[in-house]
Amino acid sequence: MALTCASLLTSCAGPPSALILSLGSKIVPHKVDFEEIYAFAERSNAAYASKEKIKSKYPFTVRIDSPGQTSVLYFLERNDAARTQFITVRGTADKTNLFEDIDLAERRDRKINIPVHAGFDRIARAIYTDVKPYLRTGYKTYVTGHSLGGAVAALLSIYLIEDGVAVKRVVTFGQPRFTTAAGVRKLGLLPLTRVVDENDVVPMLPPSFIPDEIYGPYDHTGPEVILLQAQDFVWLPIHDATRIALGAFWRSISFADLKDHHMYNYLRRIADKTKGAIEVAYDEREKFVFPTSEDE
C-alpha cells in the first residue's frame, strides 16, 4: 500500500507544453466547491484559537500539541464512526520566523527524494512523529493549514502517503513554497489545492527567481485557486512560476499588506464565493482586484 501510494506521487511527469503556453490567457473551466473550501478554512482559522475553543468547535479532536522544539501547533480530529481523520496545522503567529532555515535539504531517508525547505520539513517531521500513534491508516484523511502551516501540511501529507495513510484532500491557504521545480515534477498526484489571495505576497516566497545554488528555483505544486473580489476567482491547473510569478511578485510587493495574508481575510473572500462564484482568466484578474474610482 505504501509503495503504491508513493508511486502515485511520482506518476506525473509534468503538464503538456501547450497548457503552459496557454496558461493565464483563457479560462480553464473548473467547478470549485467553495463551501468545502470554507470548511477547511474554518479549521485553519480555528488553529489560532485556544485549545478549549478548538475542542469546543471540533469535538472529535483527540490530539492538540506543539511537538519538539517547534512553536507550530496542530490538532487531530478522528471520527471513528465515519472512519475519517482531519489534521490542521497552525501558521506561525510570529512572521519574523516564517522563513527560518531557508536552506534546502534533500529527503534522502524517504521514498520520494526531493529538495525541501529545511525549516518547514523539520516541523513536518516533528508533527508526524507526534501524531502517528493517534492515526488510523484505513481512515480517509484530510490535511489543511495556513501560511507556514500550509507548507508544513503539504509536507506532512507526503509523509502520510508514503506510509500508507489514505490522504484524500489537502487544502492550504497562503502557503509559501517548500520545494523546487525538480521536486514538483516528482510529486505528481499529491491531492493538494492551494488557495491564495491575489494580494497576498507570502505564496510567492521564497521567490522563484532567486534559485538555490544546488537545487535550483523554488516552485509550487498542485492547482491554485486565486481569490479575487466578491464572487470572482481564478483557477490554475498548475503554477507556472517562471512565466507568471516574476511580474506578479514585483507588482504585489509594491502594495503588499499583511492583512491580505490573515485567515480572516481568506474566510471573508471564500464566504463571498459560497453564494455563487464567477471564474475569470488569470490575465484578466487585475480588473477584479484594483478598486475603481467609484469604489474609492
C-alpha cell at 254: 509594491
CA–CA separation, 147 and 261 (whole Å): 8
pLDDT truncated to tens, each residue of the chain (296 aa)?
444 455 546 544 444 444 444 555 567 778 899 999 999 999 999 999 999 999 999 999 999 999 977 789 999 999 999 999 999 999 875 555 555 556 778 888 787 888 998 889 999 999 999 999 999 989 999 999 999 999 999 999 999 999 999 999 999 999 999 998 888 888 877 999 999 998 888 888 887 777 777 888 888 888 999 999 999 999 988 765 444 444 555 555 544 557 888 999 999 999 999 999 999 988 777 666 654 333 43
Task: Tell me which H or E stretch contains 75.
Answer: strand 74-79
Query: Which pLDDT belongs to residue 118?
Result: 87
Residue 173 forms part of a structural domain: yes
Question: Taking a C-beta distance cutoff of 8 angstroms, is the pair 27, 279 a contact?
Answer: yes
- Long-range pairs for 161-164: beta carbons < 8 A, 24 or more residues apart: 161/5, 161/6, 161/8, 161/9, 161/190, 162/2, 162/5, 162/6, 162/9, 162/110, 162/111, 162/112, 163/2, 163/137, 164/1, 164/2, 164/5, 164/137
Q: How far apart are CA 270 and CA 276, in angstroms?
A: 10
Burial environment of residue 176 by CB neighbours within 10 A (0 to 12, 13 to 18, 19 or more): buried
Residue 7 falls inside a structural domain: yes
> Is residue 296 one of the residues assigned to a domain?
no
Output the pLDDT for position 129: 96
- Phi first, then psi, for residue 84 (nearest 5°) are -130, 155
Residue 142 lies in a domain: yes
Q: 141 in helix, strand or coil? A: strand
The number of folded domains in the chain is: 1
* Domain contains 291: no
Task: Provide, for the chain, the percentages of residues in helix, strand and coil under a 3-state DSSP scheme, each rounded to the nearest 5.
Answer: 40, 20, 40
CA end-to-end distance (rounded Å), the chain: 56
All three cell numbers of 50: 485556544
Distance CA 125, CA 6 (A): 17
Q: What is the pLDDT of residue 62?
A: 98
CATH assignment at residue 229: 3.40.50.1820
Sheet containing 218-219: order of strands: 104-106, 115-117, 179-180, 218-219
Per-residue confidence (pLDDT) for residue 217, from 0 to 100: 84
Peptide bond into 133 cis (omega under 30): no
Please give the pLDDT value at position 252: 54
Burial classification of residue 200, based on how many CB atoms lie within 10 Å of its CB (0-12 exposed, 13-18 middle, 19 or more buried): buried
In a domain, 288, yes or no: no
Is 284 a member of any domain? no
Provide the pLDDT for residue 224: 92
Residues in the chain: 296
Q: Which residues lie closer than 8 Å to 219 by C-beta, 6 or more apart?
A: 177, 179, 180, 181, 183, 184, 208, 239, 241
Provide the residue range defining the domain that includes 159: 2-12+28-277
> Do 38 and 91 form a contact (C-beta atoms < 8 A)?
no
Report yes or no on 295 lying in a domain: no
